[in-house]
Structure 1
Amino acid sequence: MIGPVRQIQLGNGASADLYLLRFDKNGRLQSPKTAELAVKAARAATDVYLFSHGWNNVYADALAAYVRFAEGFIEQRRKLDLPVPGQYRPVLIGVIWPSTWFVPKRDRGPVIAGGGEDDAERERDERMLAEITSQMSSEAAAEFIELIDGADSLGRHDAERVAELMRAAIWSEPDDDGASAPPDNAAVLSAWSAISNPDEPFVEEEEDVKTVDRPTDEPTSAASAESETPKTAGGTRFSPRDALRLGSVWTMKARAGKVGVIGVRPLLEEILARGSDARVHLVGHSFGARVLLSAVASARLDRKVRSMLLLQPAVNRWCFAEKVIGTEIPGGYRVVLQRVEQPVLATRSKHDYPLHQFFHLAVRGGSLGEIDIAAVGDTDRYGALGGYRPQQEADFPHGDLLDPGKAYNLTGTTTVISLDGSRQVNGKPAIGGHGDINNPFTWWALHALAAPPKAP
C-alpha cells in the first residue's frame, strides 16, 4: 500500500504514522511514492524515529517488531509520566531490506513456515545457499551446489574448492568501507574450521571424505547423528552448513552497507535538509546498525542527527576508533561521531551468541575498521561492537544498561557509550540474546536520547 501502514496511538486521541520503506539487495528504493509521503511528513514533524532491522528479513515480522518497539516505548512514557517536546508530532519510518543470515536456534524469531523446526532449518539453508550462489556465475554455482549437496562433512580437497568459489564470489574486491584486503583461501578455511570444530585445532590433511545424510525414514537422535558424522583423517570437519553461515554473514554485511549508502542516505539527506527542524533519532539492530551508520557516514547533511541507538550492532569494535590497531587509518564510522548531537549509545551482551562468539570468525578476513591478520578468533581486532566494548575505550566510556528511570549521563564531550546488557535483572539478563532488544531497558535508552532539550 502507498502511505503509512499503521497509526500508532500516543494517547489522548493523538497518533503517529508509521511508514515502511522497502529496499532491494542493491539498495534501490522499492517504495518511491510512500517515501515521498514519508519525507514530507518527517520534515513537518517535531521528531522522526527511523528504524532499521537486522537479521529479520520478512516484511510482516519487521512490521510487528517496529510496532512492538513503538508501543512499548509509548507505554513506558505513560507509566513513567515522561515529558514530551512541545507540540509533539512524531513520525515513524521503518526500513525493510532483505537480510537473511545464519541465526542460531535460541536467537531466532518464531517459525513462520508450517512444518516444524526441521523444515525451518532446511528453509534457512536454502535461503543462504540461494544468496551465496546468486553472486556466482552459473558454472561456479553449479559446481558449488554439487560439492555441498547431501554432504554432512567435506574433506580438505573439496573444502578448499568450496572456499575458493565462495571467496571469489563474495570477496573479489576489498571491503567498500574499510578498504581491507579480502581473505585468502587459507584464512577462509581456518575460520571455517574454527566454526565447525570449536574445540579442536585446525589440522592440515589431504584425504577427501564426503558423507551423505542418512535416509529420512531411518530414525536418529541429534546426539547420535553428531557422533556418527565422520571427520577427515586429521580430525578436522568442514560442515557445508558452516560454510553457508560464513558466506551469508559476509553477504549480509556488505549488503547492509550498500542499503545504507545507496538507499537510506538520500532519505536522511532530504529529511535533514534546510527548512526542517525535526529531531531525527536513529535506531538500528544488528546489521541494521550498519545500514544506518553507513548512511550517516556517506551523507552530506545540512543538520546533525539528534541521536543514535545501536542495539547489538554487528559492526567491528574498532569502527569508531581514531586509529585502527596497527594502522594510521581511522575506523570507518569515526566520521559519524561528528554528525550526531548526542552520544551514540551501543548495547552489548555476552549472551549474544552470534556477536560474542561467531562474528569475529566470520568476518576475520577483512572488514570495516579491521586489519588483515592470520590469528583465528581474535576478538581484540575482529570482535563485534554488540559483543564487546569499543576499542580505544579510554575515549568511549561504558557501563550497564540502566533500569528504566535511572538517568544516563549524556553531557560533556563523550561521543560513544557502550551499555552492557549482560547483567541479571530478576534472574534474567537485560539482553539475553541477539534478538532480545525489544524490552524496557532498550526503550528507556531511547527515552534518554529522545528526551526534550532542557530549557537554557
Structure 2
Amino acid sequence: MPQLGPYPAHFIKYDKRGEADDRGHANDLQDFVGQGAFDDLLVISHGWRNDAAEAESLYAAICSQISALREGDSAAAQALAGRKVGVMAVFWPSKPYREFGAERAQLGGAASGATREEEMQALADTALADLSDALDGEVEAGKLNRLQARAAAAFADRDAFPSFFNALRDALPEDETAAERSDKAAFGSARVAEEVRAQIEAFAMAESGLGPVDFQQGGAAGGPVRTARASVGLLLNLSTFYTMKRRAGYVGQRGVARSLRGLRDARPGLRIHFVGHSFGARVLTMATQTIEGDAAARPDSLCLLQAAFSQNSFSARFPPGYRAGYFRPVMEDELVAGPILVSHTHNDLAVTWAYSLASLVSGQNASSLSDGAPSQYGGLGANGALYTDEAQDGALLPAGGGPYDLQSGRIYNLLADAFVKGHADIRGPEVGFAILSAMAASVSEGTA
C-alpha cells in the first residue's frame, strides 16, 4: 500500500475528460477506507503539474507537516489525538502554467549564451506545444494548424498579432460545465485585437524581465517589437491556464465526486477533508458542488490553497452584473459541513496575473496589479473570497501558534504574504497547521 508521509494512501488517476482510469475506483476506495478503519480521510488534489512524481512529492510534504504538527500541544493536535488518518490522492493530466522568470532560470538565461529573442522564442514554442497538447482531440486539427502558423507570424511581425489573437480565440473550446464563462467570454471580446495586444505587451514586459517601456516612444531594449514577441508566448501560456481550469472542472464533476459516492456507507462516522492546490482547489470545489450535500460523501472541511478560480465564485451578488457566483450553492446549501479556508497572496504571481488577463482582454481597467484593488476577474488565490457575506478576513498563522477560531458555514480568507512567497510555496508548516486546524474544527463541532 502506498504511503504519503506516515499515512496510508489510495491513488486514483483521472483522464482529461475527468473519468477515472479504473472502472472500480469507487468500490476500491470504499475497501481502502473500510479495511483501514480510518477516522479521517484527506482528499488531496494537485494543480497544474503534469508530473505525477511532483504531485506525489507535494502530497507527501503536506502529510508530513500535518503528522509532525499532531505531535505538538496545540488545541488542534489535541482534538485529533488518537484519530487514524488515510489519504485519497488525486492525479489528473494537467499542464503547467509556465512562469517566465522560472523558465528563464531553467533555460540558463544570459549565462547560457542565449539572447533574449532566443529565450522568448523558446518560451513561445514551449507554450504553443503545451496548448496544442492540451487541446489535442478537442479541437479540429485545422484550427490548431492555423494557430501554429499565426503564432509564428505574430512572433516575426508585430502587425500579425490580430490574426494570431483571432486564431487563438477560435481554437479555445467552450466550457461544457458552463462554469465561469467569463473566462472564455474574455477571449471572445469584440474589442479590437490591437488594444488587447498593447495591454498584454505591458504584462509581457514585467513577466519577461524586460523592464518598463514607453509604448508611444518605443522605449528601451527593443521596445514594442521585443515585447510583442514576449506577448505571444504569454498569451499562449495563459490560454493553457484556461484549458486546464476547464479540465479541472471535469475531474471534480465527473471523477472525484463519483469516486466518493457512498463512501460513508463503508465507514460510518468518517470525516472527509478536502485539500486542493491551484486548479486542484477547483477540482475539489466542483466535486463538493456535485456531491450536493449527500451525507455519504459530504466534506467536513475544505482547504483551498492558492486557488486558481474566481474570487467571486462564492458570492451571492458581485458587480458589475450583481449575479451569483458559480459556486454559490456551496454556501447557500451548506455543502461543506465545517469551515472553508482560503489562502491568498499577491506573492502568487501566477494566479494574480492570469486572472488579470481576463480584465485586459475584455477592456477592463487592469490597475489592480499596481494599486491592490482587485478587478472583477481576480483570482481566489490572489484576493480571497470577495463579495461574500460568509467570508471573514484573517491571516495564515505560524505553525502551532495562536489557535484559529473556525466555525462551520464560514469562509476564512487567510492572507499568506508572510509565509507563501509564490504559487507553489505551500509545503511549509504554516499551511500544514491551517489544514490541521480545519480538520480539528470539524471534529470538535461533531459535523457529519
TM-score tier (shorter)? 0.7 to 0.9
Indicate how the Cα distance of structure 1 residues 252 and 340 shifts in structure 2: closer, same or farther if over 3 A, else same: same
User: Does 1:142 find its partner at 2:148?
Assistant: no
**Which residue of structure 2 aligns with residue 130 of structure 1?**
133
User: Does 1:279 find its partner at 2:271?
Assistant: yes
User: Does 1:451 find its partner at 2:448?
Assistant: no
Q: Is the 8 A contact 1:18 1:94 kept in 2?
A: yes
Greater alpha carbon shift after TM alignment, 389-398 vs 180-189: 180-189
Deviation at 1:194, TM superposition (A): 2.6
Gap runs ≥5 in structure 1:
10-15, 204-225, 366-372, 424-429
d(CA) in 1 for partners of 2:320 and 2:106?
Answer: 44
Query: Alpha-carbon deviations, 1:30-79, whole Å to 9, x = none?
Result: 13456532232235421010001011121111111111111121112224
Indicate how the Cα distance of structure 1 residues 356 and 172 shifts in structure 2: closer, same or farther if over 3 A, else same: closer
**Which residue of structure 1 aligns with residue 319 of structure 2?**
325
Please list, as runs of the form range in 1=range in 2, the aligned pairs for 1:398-413 lying within 5 A after superposition. Answer: 398-405=393-400, 406-411=402-407
* Residue from 219, 227, 233 that aligns with 2:221: 227
**Which residue of structure 2 aligns with residue 316 of structure 1?**
310
Indicate how the Cα distance of structure 1 residues 136 and 229 shifts in structure 2: closer, same or farther if over 3 A, else same: farther
Deviation at 1:167, TM superposition (A): 1.5
**Which residue of structure 1 aligns with residue 347 of structure 2?**
351
d(CA) in 1 for partners of 2:69 and 2:130?
Answer: 37
* Residue from 175, 178, 182 that aligns with 2:180: 178
Give the secondary structure class of the aligned counterpart of 1:380: coil
Give the secondary structure class of the aligned counterpart of 1:386: helix
d(CA) in 2 for partners of 1:149 and 1:17?
Answer: 49
Please tell me the residue identity of whatever aligns with 1:358.
A
* Residue from 385, 391, 409 that aligns with 2:386: 391
* Residue from 418, 423, 432 that aligns with 1:434: 423
**Which residue of structure 2 aligns with residue 19 of structure 1?**
10
Indicate how the Cα distance of structure 1 residues 230 and 111 shifts in structure 2: closer, same or farther if over 3 A, else same: closer
Please tell me the residue identity of whatever aligns with 2:142.
E
After superposition, the CA RMSD in angstroms is 3.5
Please tell me the residue identity of whatever aligns with 1:24.
D
Indicate how the Cα distance of structure 1 residues 154 and 383 shifts in structure 2: closer, same or farther if over 3 A, else same: farther
* Residue from 3, 8, 18 that aligns with 1:6: 3
Query: Alpha-carbon deviations, 1:278-320, whole Å to 9, x = none?
Result: 1000000011100111111122442231101100011111111
Greater alpha carbon shift after TM alignment, 399-408 vs 77-86: 77-86
Greater alpha carbon shift after TM alignment, 374-383 vs 139-148: 374-383
Q: Is the 8 A contact 1:396 1:414 kept in 2?
A: no
Please list, as runs of the form range in 1=range in 2, the aligned pairs for 1:235-250 lying within 5 A after superposition. Answer: 239-250=231-242
**Which residue of structure 2 aligns with residue 207 of structure 1?**
none
Please list, as runs of the form range in 1=range in 2, the aligned pairs for 1:57-68 lying within 5 A after superposition. Answer: 57-68=50-61
**Which residue of structure 2 aligns with residue 38 of structure 1?**
29
Q: Is the 8 A contact 2:18 2:255 kept in 1?
A: yes
| TM-score, normalised via structure 2 length | 0.79
Query: Alpha-carbon deviations, 1:421-448, whole Å to 9, x = none?
Result: 113xxxxxx0000000111110000111
d(CA) in 2 for partners of 1:300 and 1:390?
Answer: 21
Aligned residues: 406
Q: Is the 8 A contact 1:25 1:255 kept in 2?
A: yes
Please tell me the residue identity of whatever aligns with 1:387.
A
Please tell me the residue identity of whatever aligns with 2:321.
T
* Residue from 158, 162, 166 that aligns with 1:160: 162
**Which residue of structure 2 aligns with residue 47 of structure 1?**
40
Gap runs ≥5 in structure 2:
204-211, 369-373
Please list, as runs of the form range in 1=range in 2, the aligned pairs for 1:350-389 lying within 5 A after superposition. Answer: 350-362=346-358, 374-377=363-366, 379-389=374-384
| TM-score, normalised via structure 1 length | 0.78
d(CA) in 1 for partners of 2:427 and 2:158?
Answer: 42
Indicate how the Cα distance of structure 1 residues 141 and 236 shifts in structure 2: closer, same or farther if over 3 A, else same: closer
Deviation at 1:142, TM superposition (A): 1.6
Identity of aligned residues (%): 23
* Residue from 256, 260, 266 that aligns with 1:264: 256
Q: Is the 8 A contact 2:201 2:224 kept in 1?
A: no
Q: Is the 8 A contact 1:283 1:308 kept in 2?
A: yes
